[in-house]
Every structure is written in C-alpha cells, then in structure tokens.
Structure 1
C-alpha cells in the first residue's frame, strides 16, 4: 500500500532532510547582503480510498514542493524607492558642499574687501608710493583670487561629472547583468534552489541600480523575469527580457549634464545621478554669478580709470583685462598707473576726485555684496539639503529595517527549526524501525 508506515516515514525523512538543509543554508548566509530567508514548501500526500467509502481520503505522507523565498515585493520596492531618494539627496548635498568650499575657502570676499580698504587708504595721500603699491597688490590679489575660485569650481564640476559618468557606466553594467539573470531565469526550474539564488541576485542588482537612478519594475508571474524602466513607469525600458539598453551622458556648455537612453532623452529624477545633476546645475549658477561679478568689477574700475589721469599726469589706462573670473588679470605694472586725479590734472596731483569716483562706482557695483549673495545662496541650499537628506535617510533606513525584519534571517528562529527538523528526521527514522520490527514479528509467526 502506498499509505503504509514505511512510505509515510520515508517521505517524512526526505522532507525533514530538505528542511534541515534549508535551515542550515539560512544560518550560513545570515549576514550575506541581499540574502532572503528560505523555507521548505511542504504539502500532504493524499490518495483516494478504495474502502467501503470511495470518497474517503487517506493521508500518505508529505511531499516537498520546493524551496520558497520569504520575499515581499512591496517592501523591496519601498527600499528601492526610498533608497533612490536618499542617494539623490546625499549626492546633491556632497556636491553643494564642495561648491560652497570652493567659493568660501579661496577668500574671494576678503580679497574684494581688502581692495576697497586699500583704495580708502590711498585717499589719505594719493602720491604716496607705498599706498599705491599696496593698492596695486590688492588689485592683483583680487584677480588671482577670482582665477583660483574659478579653477576650484571647475575642479568641482569635473569631479561631479567624473562621478556621474562612473554612475552611468555602473548602470549599464548592472543592466547587462540583469539581462543575463533574466535569461538564466527562463531556463531555471520552478522553486529550485538555483532559481531562488537567481532571485536573490536579481533583487540585489535592482537595489544597486536604484542607488543611481529611479527605476520602475515589472515581474513576469511565471518566470520572475524583470522589466526595468528608468525615469518612472512612463520612462524607456533599460532591461527587457534578455536585452539591455545603453545609458549615456552629455555635457552642456555651462557644465551641466543630461542623459539619454539608447539615444532618447531621459529625465532622471532620483538616485545619485539626479543628485549630481542638480549639484552641477547649482554649480553652473554659481559659476555664472562669479563671472558676472568679475566682469562687472573689470568694467567698473576700467571705466573710471580711463576717465582720470595717473600720477605722471597721463590719461588713465585700464587696470584689468578679461571678462570673467577665469581670465581676469591685472595689466598695470606700477602703482603709479592708478588714476586718482581727474582729467586735466597735472603730474603728482593730490586731487582725489577720480579716486573718490572709483570708490563710489565700486560701492554702487557692490562686488563684495554680490559675492556674499552667491555664498548665501549656496550655503542656504546646503542647509536645506542637509535637512532633506537626514529626513530621507531616516525614511530609507526604516524601509530597510522593515524589509530585513520580514525577509532577513532570525538566528533564534532558525535554531529552533534546526532542532525541530532534526527531531522530525529522527522520529521518522524511528517509525521506519518500528514498522520493520512489526513486519519481522509478523513474519516470525508460525
């Protein structure tokens, strides 16, 4: 009979052995990143009765239907979504902090204030050579500080674009890996250990991908093959079955970046790529503001300079050349070139009318205030993004904890299972022994 003791016990030992293997695998991989707890799926074996009651059902043991992952698609999706938001905020904040440091640490604000102070001191004695030399040196310092600040901002931009390109390359690598996993899933047996391992690999790749960009996923119910779209559910497909697209990045004239997927424009709103794109946008704004301030300073000083005369009584010449922060330069070679006197004044004139006009023009242009405004804009953005980043990190952490509690390995529970299935294995072995003893006793009857 299929429902005899030996058959039932044999199915029980097989089920207990599979459950022990699954439990041991859970314990061994408890700390492995991306591992999802498994459990053995067991069903009772029922057979139709041939007794006087044809509709009766006899239980004939247990059958192992497969190994099941304790995965929750909703929680996994939440981890990807919240993780992408946190990665965007963190990447943007890091970029903005670098922009802030590039402007603040070069001392551009202090150099402009020092130049204004030098012109103020020159008012006391416009013919004093040391005061003129000091004013010229402060002018040179302003030009050089603008140059250094521009170079620092350019370096920040290069760093952000390098990291963004590295992220693009990583997205393409992950997409190719996901396409290969999809192909293997189509060939794997349902509920097999190989299939569950592929599901783990698939889910980890999706989580890694979500750190770079916002992804939308769809899963085939029969095989678990995933379709991945970038830029939300309406975005283009990055992975479709065994095929993967190619993400590319392009740099604009102002240093900002844009993305395309297989040549089609793509709007990335989350993930580290979006954060770096937003930081580059702020960098471009700060860089444009810095260039405008430098250009206005050159125009303001040179305009007043050419309207007066220098210490030798000659018509004033421009002090600076250039149109922006990167190319501003001091062209005057001597402090005597500063046109402190008005047009028509003689050599060694103590008339400071033109110097007064120069100071008034600089005060009206207010380059120090403009620099302070650029710094304030960046600093305010940094402060705001810190609050946003902390909040999003907290949300992402909560989502990860919820997923871990649901899909992670509880060593205490696994230890209980280990004892329970071991006892079940021993008990079924004992049933086989008892059945064997019963049959031996029957056969020994004379």
Structure 2
C-alpha cells in the first residue's frame, strides 16, 4: 500500500460521491426517482473501495402507499361518476318530482269539471311530459352506463400496457444484474413507478423474488406479471348480461375466465365497477320500480272507469317488459321468461337464478342476500317478489340466469291516449261524475311502492339514497386523501431528494476530494525530497 494508491482511491471515492450527489440534485423533480447514497468500505490494500450507490427505497412504505393511492383513485373515480347523477337530480328542469306534481294537479283540475276539454287536454299534456321526463332520465343513466363500459375498456388496456412494461423491466434488470452484479437503480426506479401507476388502476399484490424480479398478481391470486411474462386482461361482454362490460383474465393455457367484481376493490377500475353496481344499477332500478308501480296502478284504476264516449277506460301508459338473460357459460339450453304479477311487491333490484343440486336458488344482486322463492314443478315456474319466472328447456347444475325486471321500464314509458275524451273520470254515464278521477288522484297518497311508500316518498328515497352515497364517498375520500398524503410524506422523507442536504454533501465531497489531492501532493513532495537526498 502506498500513499499514492491511498490518495487515488480517495479521489475516486470523492468523485463518485460528487456524481451521486449531482444525480440526486438533477433528479429532484423526476417522478419516481429515489435518492441514492454512496456506499464506501475500507480496503487494506489501497485505502477505500467504492461499493456503488444504494437506492433509498423502503418496500414496506411503498406497498402501503400503493394501496392507499389505489383506494384514493377508486374513491375519486366513484365520486366523479356519482356526481353526474346528483347534478341531474338537483336540476329543477329535469327533476321528476315537479312533473309528477303538475300531473296530479292537472288531474285535480279535471275533477273539478270532468267534461271540460281544456282540463282534459291539460291532463294529457302533463301525462306526456311525465312519460317523456322519465324516459329522458333513464336515457341519461343509460348514457352513463355506456360511458362506464368504455372507460372500463380504457382502464383494462392501460393495465395491460403497464404489466407489459413491468415484465420487460424485469427482464432488463435480471440481465443487468447478471452482467455486473450491481442493482440497476434507474431500472428499479422505472419499475417501481410503473407499479405505483398500476396500483392506481387496479388492486394488485407485489412480491419480490430473490432474483430481484417482481411477481404481480390480482387479489384473487391470478398472476399479472411473472418474471418476463405478462398475463393480459380483456374488457368484453359480460357472460351474464350482454348489455354490460366485464373483465376477463387470460390464463397461461389461453383460457378466458370472467373475473368477479369483488376482485376489483381498489384503483380507478374498481371505482367504476363499484359505482355501476352500487349507484347506477340502484338508481335505474328505483326509477324502473316507480314507473312500473305508477303505470300499473294508474292503468288498473283507469280501466275501472268510463270515458266521455261512454266506453270503458283503456290503459293510459305502457312500460318496458322485464328481461332475463341466460349465462353464456350455461351447459343446458334452459331459458327464463319473466313476468310482473304484482307491481307493489317489486323490489328495486336485479336477481340471479342458479340451478343447484337442491333446485333453483334466487339471490338479490344489490345486497347478495338469498330470496325466498316458490317453485311450481307442474308449470316450471318460480314466483318471488311480485315476479313469475317460467323456466323452459333443460337446466344443468351450475347454470345461472340474470333477471332484470325493472331496467327497461322507464326507457319504454309512453302515453297511450291521444284524445282527452278517452280519460275515464267517471264510474257511470251520469254527467259530472268524477268518482274514478278522484280515485286516480288518490293514488298519489297510497302506499303502493313495496307496499310502504307513496310515489313522492319513493322519489325521495332515490334522492336520499344517492345523497347518502355521496356523503359517505366524500367522507372516505377526505380521510383517504389525508392518509395518502401522510404516506407520501413518509416515503419522501426517506426516498425523496432534499436539496439542502445535497448541497451540504457537495461541499463535503469537494473537501474530501481536495484533501485526497493534498495526500497525493504530499506523497509527491516526500518522494522528491528522498530523490534529492541521493
């Protein structure tokens, strides 16, 4: 060991320190960058060894931050979507309560003078407006659903792009490590940044292998990234409902498996799915429930009266028909034909019918609870909650059917009468008889919706349900925002670049460099002195 080799090793160490500090400073605003610290060790042969730059990265904190960011993205997406419905409900021009009040008000005016053509025309006009307003509201909700389906496809495409990049980085990192044995910090930063972005879109689990490669999987254990292999997702038509989009997983054998919605509990994709199932489906079913109950009750009462032409009352409104879908994976050829038998018993929910070893089982899809259903083997008919479902064909065990009795009710809500004289306000042929008109007017006060609420109360339930959802999301969003900010600050305190600290390091390494240069200079002076002695 000579004084020159010691000084040179110190110069190299100081120079490496200046490089590391300069890199930290220049990347202070680079997203995903983790600051580096110079690693030195004693070398008895020639002074000091440079062991490289260590990346300041805490996997535990990063995992917590990724999870928090994913939850925040989910809540933020949910909130932005649900606000669209809230804006519509809060708009007085598009609200449903005012048009219903105007309709019953016009009906009351007709009852004051049942033979007045203008009063009857007023009822027809407000009835047409009522049906049109319900249709417009449902069309708006349907547009939102189409938008959600499109956004789901975009999110899935983004997830596939990110997992593909992560798998490529896994390969590059392994190659870099096999060549030098050192950790390629820039590649590691890129990969962790992509993992963070992936966590904001979908709920994932990350496990680092001994080789340094990441294995990333969904929360059900299905791998998305394994080494340099990426498994893709696909957004396409739901097996149980052709009007909806679902997410499918492409496994190693090339099979496509439809993923359950509870796989997506975090991330913007999870927020879209949760909004659709908890808010959008609920709102459309509550709207359809109101239409089905109102139209059925009004038609039934109207048909008990007599119009100005001394004819029996006709049906005033038409609505959409309930629908049922057979799952695309069903092994049998059975089909479900659904009819509404009692509108007052309808629940604002879709249902799933599944064939099991014990027979047919019915489940509510809004809360996952089983439904008591009666099965008539003679007619192959299930009855539950105001519905009659006839099963045709042969069902195999495991076959399922999605029943949507209300989703089309408002979409096809129409006024059928064309003349005011067709309004059956009377119960007899007597002039001025308005007894049936009074009975029609009294429908607004009857508990017809699920046998416990009026039409106005049902609409109020729609508004309050949505309001409660928004309040809960807002509260959770604020709390999650605070938690995410705390974790981000914790991560930055360890991995972020502090310019004051780096400025001090520059001075320290500069002095370190100068001191080692002085060592070499001193060695040279000593050597010159020795040579002069000869």
Query: Taking structure 1 as the reference length, what is the TM-score of the superposition?
Result: 0.91
1:31-430 map, 5 Å: 31-47=29-45, 60-105=46-91, 106-189=94-177, 195-221=184-210, 223-231=211-219, 234-250=220-236, 251=238, 253=241, 257-262=245-250, 263-266=256-259, 267-281=263-277, 282-323=279-320, 324-342=409-427, 344-345=428-429, 349-364=431-446, 365=448, 366-430=454-518
CA distance in 1, matches of 2:182, 2:24: 12
CA drift of 1:257 comes to 4.9
2:529 paired with 1:441: yes
SS at match of 2:177: coil
Which one has a bigger Cα radius of gyration? 1
CA offsets 1:80-115 (integer angstroms, 9 cap, x no match): 011111112222222222233344432112111211
CA drift of 1:393 comes to 1.2
CA distance in 1, matches of 2:149, 2:245: 8
CA distance in 2, matches of 1:331, 1:214: 50
- Counterpart of 1:55 in structure 2 is none
CA offsets 1:210-235 (integer angstroms, 9 cap, x no match): 001111111123x421000112xx52
Higher helix share: 1
1:213–1:271 CA contact under 8 A, matched in 2:
yes
SS at match of 2:533: coil
CA distance in 1, matches of 2:227, 2:101: 62
CA distance in 2, matches of 1:130, 1:374: 34
CA distance in 1, matches of 2:242, 2:78: 18
CA drift of 1:276 comes to 1.0
- Give the gaps of 5 or more residues in structure 1: 48-59
CA drift of 1:18 comes to 0.9
CA distance in 1, matches of 2:148, 2:295: 30
Provide the aligned length of Structure 1 versus Structure 2: 426
1:111–1:141 CA contact under 8 A, matched in 2:
yes
SS at match of 2:429: coil
SS at match of 1:97: helix
CA distance in 2, matches of 1:85, 1:312: 64
1:183–1:242 CA contact under 8 A, matched in 2:
yes
Q: 1:257 to 1:274 in 2, by over 3 A?
A: farther
Range with greater deviation from structure 2 (434-443 or 29-38): 434-443
SS at match of 1:41: strand
CA distance in 2, matches of 1:255, 1:36: 45
CA offsets 1:402-422 (integer angstroms, 9 cap, x no match): 101110000000000011111
CA drift of 1:146 comes to 0.5
2:88–2:95 CA contact under 8 A, matched in 1:
no
Q: 1:95 to 1:320 in 2, by over 3 A?
A: same
CA distance in 1, matches of 2:183, 2:148: 40
1:1-40 map, 5 Å: 3-40=1-38
Alpha carbon RMSD of aligned pairs, Å? 1.8
1:39–1:69 CA contact under 8 A, matched in 2:
yes
CA drift of 1:256 comes to 5.6
1:82–1:396 CA contact under 8 A, matched in 2:
yes
1:103–1:153 CA contact under 8 A, matched in 2:
no
2:313–2:424 CA contact under 8 A, matched in 1:
yes
CA distance in 2, matches of 1:192, 1:209: 28
Query: Taking structure 2 as the reference length, what is the TM-score of the superposition?
Result: 0.77
1:150–1:287 CA contact under 8 A, matched in 2:
yes
CA drift of 1:424 comes to 1.0
CA drift of 1:192 comes to 7.8
Range with greater deviation from structure 2 (30-39 or 268-277): 268-277
CA drift of 1:265 comes to 4.2
